[in-house]
Amino acid sequence: MTGIDVPEGGDLPEGTGVSQGADVSQGIARRVLTVPHPLLTERARPADPGDPRTAVAVADLLATLRRLMPYTGLSAPQIGMPLRIIAFDVSRHPHARSCAGEVVLLNPRLVAASRWEPGREGCVSVPGFAGGTVRAARISVRGDLPGGASVTVHADTVEARCVQHQLDHLDGTLFLDRISEAGAFHPAWLGTAVPALTRPEASQPAPMRGS
């Protein structure tokens, strides 16, 4: 089963996305941190849905992810904000089976995982390289929307791998830490250049606007 469960507050069918509640009009596309930046190996702190600084982080995260297409996911720590927030959208990936649309989750946690399979992945924070990892091909992840409602997202294959990759970032884990064997790490050409995100101050941990 794939899709989105909304225990309270109505029904969101698969494919509509769950970035509702996020005001992205003021979002800024930030520079993505790359290894060996120390923030990438630190555990992020919980995000408070009622904190105005969380809304800033969500808006900037979405603005950055949209600028990075065709990359499929991004976490707040990757843009210098050490909060437990992820965003993903696999709608443009040619091999995606499940697709919840553009999703933003606060404080996400994995609640079910099955069908572990090998696969290849890369990361915008580790530019130019890819590696073989083993991930669950079917997962359920629970978290909060920017507006505060709780949801459970069920994902398969590409979307499941993308979500697990972003969850790792929240715990300071890179895909490099999960490479199955030495020969599975190699240079990669992703077919497109990473867009230049020219906000110089974002190369440092971002100040939490609204504080």
DSSP 50: T
Contact criterion met (CB below 8 Å) for 20 and 189: no
**pLDDT (0 to 100) of residue 95:** 57
Q: Is the pLDDT of residue 152 over 90?
A: yes
Peptide bond into 52 cis (omega under 30): no
Identify the three-state secondary structure at position 159: helix
The CATH architecture to which 3-194 belongs is: Alpha-Beta Complex (3.90)
Q: Is the pLDDT of residue 197 over 60?
A: no
Q: Which tens digit of pLDDT belongs to each residue from 16-54?
A: 344 544 555 678 999 999 999 999 999 999 999 999 999
Averaged over 138-149, what is the pLDDT?
92
Q: What is the pTM of this model?
A: 0.79
**pLDDT (0 to 100) of residue 186:** 59
Contact criterion met (CB below 8 Å) for 73 and 175: no
Residue 165 annotated as lining a ligand binding site = yes
For the ranges 14-18, 45-49, 132-136, 167-171, which has the lowest average pLDDT?
A: 14-18
Q: Which tens digit of pLDDT belongs to each residue from 60-85?
A: 999 999 999 888 899 999 999 999 99
Dihedral sign from CA coordinates of 26, 85, 150, 140: positive
Q: Which helix (H) or strand (E) holds 134?
A: strand 126-144
Instruction: Please report, for the chain, the start and end positions of each structural domain, with discontinuous segments joined by +.
Output: 3-194
Residue 123 annotated as lining a ligand binding site = yes
Averaged over 125-148, what is the pLDDT?
91
The mean of the pLDDT values for the chain is 79
Residue 162 annotated as lining a ligand binding site = no
Q: 184 — alpha (psi -120 to 50), left (phi > 0) or beta?
A: alpha
**pLDDT (0 to 100) of residue 101:** 72
**pLDDT (0 to 100) of residue 131:** 85
